[in-house]
Structure 1
Amino acid sequence: MPSEDHQYHPHDAVKAAINGTLITGAAGGLVSAIQNTLTKRNVSAWGVFTRTGGTIAIFSAVGGTYEFTRFAAANLRERDDSLNTAIGGFLAGSVLGLRFGSTPAVLGFGALTAIVLGAYDYTGGALTGPKNNREMDEFERKQELRKNRRRPIEETISELGEGRGIYGPGYEERRRERIKEKYGIDVPAKS
């Protein structure tokens, strides 16, 4: 049921799963190496795989599961939206919960991960706010924003007063008159 103006293009779920597995597996290897160096007993360098290797496996499984499920759901539903991310997050979180060996942990980790990832994707997928229009030049966009928020100088002066870099037309003359009245000093006009 895709809309008339947007045609869905299928994604390669297996390729995404392999990429996700490799990337998160590398991150798991780094975490496993850190765990291995922080052990009290001196374990050999192979301890990264033998002693704390489960961390690598969990990271790899979570990344692969998330990527495969997200794109498989998108292909089945023929839509790119936040629900795909939530479905992938639920299964990836469930893999995390399997480590504890109880059904409430599996469901709880799955639900938590689904909610967090789904909400993150729904809100634009960035912590810095909505994405800008990629077609508009950045300089032009900032000029447009400045024009949109520009206020007349008279309004600014009436609210803030003159000084501190804000000067209205005829400011130099008014300043010379004030100094002449108050202190009796003639200030020459700038040429």
Structure 2
Amino acid sequence: MADAHDYHPVDTLANTARTTLQTTIAGAVFAGAQNTLRKQNVGAMGILTRSGGLIAVYAGVGALYQFSRDSAANLRQKEGAVNEAIGGFVGGTVLGLARRSIPFMLGAGVCTASIMAAWNVTKGVSGGEYTEEFAEDEVERREALKKLRRRPIQETIDQLGEGRGIYAPGYEERRRERLLAKYGVDVGEAQGQK
């Protein structure tokens, strides 16, 4: 397990470029959907001419969020909810820029910062501990779950019977005796066994 103070700096510019590209594509998809739902025919370029602002807002939110989040992490030299809150606030203020309202800009920033910090603390939808002290190696965790649910082979054979890949020790000998008693055929001799 890594020490809590081991921090590895992140590549801010590469992450920002990747996130900006992803959010720009998401904005273009939403702009395209908005373009197709218009009553008047604006053509294919309507995505840029009519909904270009939406694409710019998505790109700006993604770029500013990722850049400020990674910059805060590199400056503080630790990961955590504070970095997410800083990134969320700066990214959320872009939403207010489109409305041209400082109160809306600050409110959107605080709301986005709260959501991103809460997302980080709760580890998203799946949940989990905030601290990594209790983090377990994924393979070890799955092996422990397998052992917890593993049944003894005798219980499995009692319920399902032998065959289909489930064989108890001594199966070949029991099979040989069963075939010899029922059909009079010694399978061991036929296969060249002694």
User: Structure 1 length as normaliser, TM-score?
Assistant: 0.69
Aligned length: 145
Secondary structure at the counterpart of residue 136 of structure 2: coil
2:172 is matched with which residue? none
Counterpart residue number, 2:114: 115
SS in 2 for 1:99: helix
CA distance in 2, matches of 1:13, 1:91: 15
Are residues 25 and 120 of structure 1, via their aligned partners in 2, closer, same or farther at CA, if it must alter by over 3 Å? same
CA 49–129 in structure 1, closer or farther in 2 if over 3 Å, else same: same
CA RMSD across the alignment: 2.3
Whole-Å separation in 2 of the counterparts to 1:88 and 1:13: 12
Residue 80 of structure 1: aligned partner:
79
**Structure 2 runs not aligned, ≥5 long:** 130-134, 151-194
Q: Distance in 2 between matches of 1:5 and 1:36?
A: 49
Partner of 2:7: 8
Distance of aligned partners of 1:38 and 1:109 in 2 relative to their CA distance in 1, 3 Å threshold = same
Aligned residues with identical type, % of pairs: 42
Identify unmatched segments of 5+ residues in structure 1.
148-191
Shift of 1:138: 5.4
Query: In the TM superposition, what is the alpha-carbon distance from 1:129 to its structure 2 partner?
Result: 2.0
Please name the residue that 2:127 is paired with: 129
Show the counterpart of 1:25: 24
1:1-191 equivalences in 2 (<5 Å): 6-124=5-123, 126-130=124-128, 133-137=136-140, 139-143=142-146, 145-146=148-149
Q: Distance in 2 between matches of 1:139 and 1:11?
A: 29
Q: Could you tell me how far apart the structure 2 residues matched to 1:135 and 1:34 are? A: 40
Contact kept in structure 1, 2:5 and 2:78, CA below 8 Å: no
Matched residues in 1 for 2:69 and 2:20: separation? 13
Q: For residue 11 of structure 1, what is the amino acid of its counterpart?
A: V
Shift of 1:43: 0.6
Cα distance in 2 between the residues matched to 1:52 and 1:66: 22
Q: Tell me the secondary structure at the aligned position of residue 10 of structure 1.
A: coil
Distance (Å, rounded) in 1 between the aligned partners of 2:126 and 2:95: 28
Q: Secondary structure at the match of 2:40?
A: coil
Compared with structure 1, are the counterparts of its residues 56 and 5 closer, same or farther at alpha carbon in structure 2 (3 Å cutoff)? closer
